[in-house]
């Protein structure tokens, strides 16, 4: 997830579960009942604890009932988007130094239910990612040797204007969001994350290069040779890999670890990235990302990526994205590239 500062919890009766102390307290689960009074359920860091340069708060979570509203510092959002099922992001204009309370207005709720807040970021509403330089193109991109859910398959909005990079390091994240139950839900979450990063954070595209679902599916984010937006001040030549879920508490599935290893082996083989250039986000920025439960597996991941065997199924590729200069998914044209990629490995 993008860098986020520690959150000061305000525990009120409306909060069902606030997560472990000192772990930013997400996700917040708030029970809402018809006729309930407005309740302050959350408070962002006091002014002296905040990063400077923000003028907006970006919330994301689940608001299943459109009659229920969230306010920050007493204000309604100036921009927001809600996906099917209530997955939402919303941006609120705020002033430096004012208290940043989050209020739930649930009086008009149709029935008792739970509102979830997965995270709250202090952002510059205009966005921080600089204007990009080059058109989208296949230059420098590579075919991969494992199944990837390409952008077209998950319904990515088209993007152009990337700044190109040469991958020289990679960084592990968690989304600090939900863990989708199946492939369709994971595809929907990809569309949500892209929307939040583009229209909420104001970035060019989804910030990550790859996102892994709880089922172990690997989703394409930005092209691997396009500069990402996932580790503030460390984005140049840095490939961002994120896992759907909040791994301060969520258990790490074996297929998720396998997917991280597969991506790591690809980055090592195709770009010569070494062990010293593999990071957890918290090693670069002040953040809990990628969560304690993934962070605890970093040494195991290093061992498998840089010293372990390459799994046989890694070579059972399904094809490359046409925009990467390969054939369509499953097409014969990609196989030569797959073999080429495979031959790079030991
Ligand atoms: Zn992160």
Q: Answer yes or no: is pLDDT of 97 > 60.
A: yes
pLDDT digits (tens, 9 = 90+) for 256-308: 999 999 999 989 988 899 999 999 999 999 999 999 999 999 999 999 999 98
Question: Taking every pair of C-alpha atoms in the chain, what is the biggest distance, in angstroms?
Answer: 65
Instruction: Give distance in angstroms: CA of 109 to centre of ligand 1.
Output: 34
Which residues have CB under 8 Å from 114's CB, separation 6+? Answer: 16, 29, 30, 31, 32, 62, 64
Q: Answer yes or no: is pLDDT of 340 > 90.
A: no
Instruction: Give distance in angstroms: CA of 140 to centre of ligand 1.
Output: 25
CB contact at 8 A, 243 and 256: yes
Instruction: Give distance in angstroms: CA of 208 to centre of ligand 1.
Output: 9
Q: Answer yes or no: is pLDDT of 346 > 90.
A: no
pLDDT digits (tens, 9 = 90+) for 151-204: 999 999 999 899 999 999 999 999 999 999 999 999 999 999 999 999 999 999
pLDDT digits (tens, 9 = 90+) for 305-335: 999 887 544 433 333 333 333 333 333 223 2
pTM, two decimal places: 0.76
Instruction: Give distance in angstroms: CA of 231 to centre of ligand 1.
Output: 7
Q: Which two tokens stand for residue 54?
A: 């923000």
The predicted structure's pLDDT at residue 269: 84
The predicted structure's pLDDT at residue 99: 87
The predicted structure's pLDDT at residue 98: 87
Instruction: Give distance in angstroms: CA of 328 to centre of ligand 1.
Output: 31
What proportion of the chain, given as a percentage, has pLDDT over 90? 60
Instruction: Give distance in angstroms: CA of 241 to centre of ligand 1.
Output: 9
Instruction: Give distance in angstroms: CA of 10 to centre of ligand 1.
Output: 24
Instruction: Give distance in angstroms: CA of 292 to centre of ligand 1.
Output: 12
pLDDT digits (tens, 9 = 90+) for 22-48: 335 789 999 999 998 998 988 887 666
* DSSP letters spanning 77-124: -SEEEE-GGGEEEEEEE--TTS--EEEEE-TT-SS-EEEEEEEEEEE-
* Cα–Cα distance list, 127 to 41, 54, 122, 145, 152 (Å): 27, 10, 11, 35, 25
The predicted structure's pLDDT at residue 86: 95
Instruction: Give distance in angstroms: CA of 201 to centre of ligand 1.
Output: 14
Instruction: Give distance in angstroms: CA of 244 to centre of ligand 1.
Output: 11
Instruction: Give distance in angstroms: CA of 161 to centre of ligand 1.
Output: 23
Instruction: Give distance in angstroms: CA of 67 to centre of ligand 1.
Output: 32
In the numeric block, the tokens 């172990």 are attached to 216
In the numeric block, the tokens 């909040």 are attached to 246
The sign one gets for the Cα dihedral 121, 126, 131, 132 is: positive
């Amino acid at each position: 997830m993008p860098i986020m500062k520690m959150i000061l919890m305000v525990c009120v009766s409306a909060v069902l579960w606030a997560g472990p102390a000192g772990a930013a307290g997400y996700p917040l689960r708030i029970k809402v009942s018809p006729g309930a009074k407005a309740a302050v359920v959350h408070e962002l860091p006091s002014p002296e604890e905040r990063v400077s340069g923000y003028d907006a708060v970006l919330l994301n979570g689940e608001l299943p009932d459109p009659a229920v509203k969230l306010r920050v510092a007493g204000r309604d959002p100036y921009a927001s988007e809600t996906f099917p099922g209530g997955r939402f992001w919303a941006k609120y204009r705020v002033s430096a130094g004012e208290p940043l309370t989050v209020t739930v207005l649930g009086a008009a709720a149709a029935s008792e239910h739970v509102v979830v807040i997965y995270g709250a970021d202090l952002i510059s509403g205009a966005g921080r990612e600089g204007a990009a330089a080059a058109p989208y193109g296949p230059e420098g991109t590579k075919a991969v040797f494992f199944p990837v859910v390409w952008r077209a398959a998950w319904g990515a909005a088209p993007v152009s204007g990337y700044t190109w990079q040469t991958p020289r390091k990679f960084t592990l994240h968690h989304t600090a969001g939900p863990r989708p139950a199946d492939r369709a839900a994971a595809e929907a979450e990809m569309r949500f994350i892209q929307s939040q990063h583009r229209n909420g954070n104001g970035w060019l595209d989804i910030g990550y290069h790859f996102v892994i679902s709880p089922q172990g599916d690997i989703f394409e984010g930005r092209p691997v040779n396009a500069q990402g937006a996932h580790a503030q001040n460390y984005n140049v030549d840095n490939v961002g890999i994120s896992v759907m879920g909040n791994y301060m508490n969520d258990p790490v599935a074996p297929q998720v670890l396998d997917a991280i290893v597969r991506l790591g082996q690809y980055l090592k083989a195709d770009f010569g990235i070494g062990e010293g250039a593999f990071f957890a986000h918290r090693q670069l920025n002040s953040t809990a990302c990628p969560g304690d439960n993934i962070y605890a597996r970093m040494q195991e991941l290093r061992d498998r990526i840089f010293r372990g065997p390459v799994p046989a199924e890694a070579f059972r590729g399904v094809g490359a994205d046409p925009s990467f200069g390969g054939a369509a998914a499953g097409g014969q044209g990609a196989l030569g590239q797959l073999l080429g990629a495979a031959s790079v490995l030991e």
